[in-house]
Amino acid sequence: MENKKDIKALISEYFIFIIFVALVVVLTIMKPSFISGRNLGNILKQASINGILAFGMMFVIISGGFDMSVGSTLAFAGVLAALLGKGQVPLIVPMLVAMIAGLGVGILNGVGIAVGNLPAFIMTLGTQTGIRGLALLVCGGNPVTGLSEQYRAIAAGTILGIPNLAVFLIVVIIICSFVATKTVYGRRVYSCGGNVQAARVAGINTSFIRVSTFAIAGLLAGLCGFLMTSRVTIGQPTAGESYEMDAITACVVGGVSMSGGVGKPWGVIIGTLLITVIANGLDILGVSAYWQKIIKGLIIVGAVLMDVKGKGRKN
């Protein structure tokens, strides 16, 4: 009986993972080309920007917050990167500028929320709108074109057959997972989200922790802006609309609790891949975009519902 209970607990713990594997198997049977190296590379490429955003979002949600502004931040940083990426400036410059811009927005969010005591939803809704305006302002509303050859090559190129974008994602995953699970800082993010008052009494600087999680989300959104500009080869001030929703979806599907304090990096990886695989799989099956949205919605709610039910039984 002990053994049976363990298996049950294991299944409920890794439920999303099981769904993911099942989905991959089904898609492979229906369309063997799904599993081809080329398509897998494609999936990684498509997953990269949402994945990086989702990892920033993971820190925010685990610490008990919520960030609606990452899509706008991405666009703002992307436009700045495009303006700097036209000439012969070394690419590190637009990349750093984009990340610093994102960091700035993140810190602004964090200070408003942790120090100004604004609800996270309101504060980031404000920056979502405001920063989008700023993105439009710096480029006069027109997409920034004429990127240098080398900048465009970033998103198009590969290293050892792996798309560059995926390499960025993998590096971000490794660093974020390490920070979340291995460092004192990571532990404190979980403590804050679990019970911010108890964390404060325990001597943790909770304001700093909360500001820093928004800063991480902003920084990564800035990086995504830099990558996005390379991928679409223009600096689009309207880029990344509703990307925050995809990032939140990846987190929630991956088991990050919206009430804070709970969530594992591997879950966010699976959440990101699940969303991408759904889109990619339906694409190669030739399902229409309208149906894709409907099916995506059903799978998101269904997956989380079954996950919640599974956990409920355990208690």
Partner 1 sequence: MDYILDMQNISKTFPGVKALDGVQLQVKPGEVHALMGENGAGKSTLMKILMGIYTMDEGGSITFDGKPYRVHSPKEAMDTGIAMIHQELNPILDMTVYENIFVGREISKGGLVDKKAEIEEAKRLIAECGLHVSPTETLRNLTVAQCQLIEIIKAISVNARVIIMDEPTAAITDREVELLFGHIRRLKEKGVAIIYISHRMDEIFTICDSVTVYRDGKYVGRGTTQELDEAALIKMMVGREITDVFPKLEAQIGETLFEANHITRADGRVKDVSISVKRGEILGIGGLVGAGRSELVEGIFGMHRLSGGEIIVKGRKVHVHSPSDIIKQGVALVTEDRKVTGLNLSGTVNDNISMVAIGKALVNGLYSRAKARKLSAEYIEKLKIKTPSGDQIVGNLSGGNQQKVVISKWLLNDPDIIIMDEPTRGIDVGAKRDIYLLIGSLVQQGKAVILISSEIPELMGVCDRIAVMAEGHLSGELGREAFSQESIMRLASDIAV
Q: At what angle do helices 37-62 and 243-253 cross, to 10 degrees?
A: 90
Residue 64 binds to partner 1 (criterion: CB under 8 A): no
Residue 314 binds to partner 1 (criterion: CB under 8 A): yes
Residue 262 binds to partner 1 (criterion: CB under 8 A): yes
Q: What are residue 235's DSSP bridge partners?
A: 144
Q: C-beta of 201: minimal distance to partner 1 in Å?
A: 5
226 within 8 A of 118, measured Cβ to Cβ? no
Interface with partner 1: number of residues (CB under 8 A): 29
Residue 311 binds to partner 1 (criterion: CB under 8 A): no
Residue 293 binds to partner 1 (criterion: CB under 8 A): no
The string of DSSP letters for 122-170 reads HHHHHHHHHHHHHHHHHTTTSPB----HHHHHHHH-EETTEEHHHHHHH
Residue 255 binds to partner 1 (criterion: CB under 8 A): no
Cα dihedral: 143, 144, 149, 154 (round 10): -70
Identity of the residue, 245 or 258, whose beta carbon is nearer to partner 1 in the bound complex:
258
| SS3 per-residue string spanning 176-209 | HHHHHHHCHHHHHHHHHHHCHHHHHHCCCCHHHH
117: DSSP letter: -
CB atoms within 10 A of CB 95: 22
Is 223 in a helix, a strand, or coil?
Answer: helix
Residue 313 binds to partner 1 (criterion: CB under 8 A): yes
Residue 7 binds to partner 1 (criterion: CB under 8 A): no
Identity of the residue, 90 or 312, whose beta carbon is nearer to partner 1 in the bound complex:
312
Q: In the stretch 200-239, what mask flags binding to partner 1 with x, by CB under 8 A? A: xxxxxx----------------------------------
Q: C-beta of 15: minimal distance to partner 1 in Å?
A: 17
Site for partner 1 in 177-196 (CB under 8 A): 181-184, 186-188, 190-191, 194-195
Identity of the residue, 182 or 293, whose beta carbon is nearer to partner 1 in the bound complex:
182
Pairing state between β 158-159 and 162-163: antiparallel
Q: Of the listed pieces 103-111, 149-157, 229-237, 258-266, which binds partner 1 according to CB under 8 A?
A: 258-266
Residues binding partner 1 (CB under 8 A): 5, 181-184, 186-188, 190-191, 194-195, 197-205, 257, 259-262, 313-315
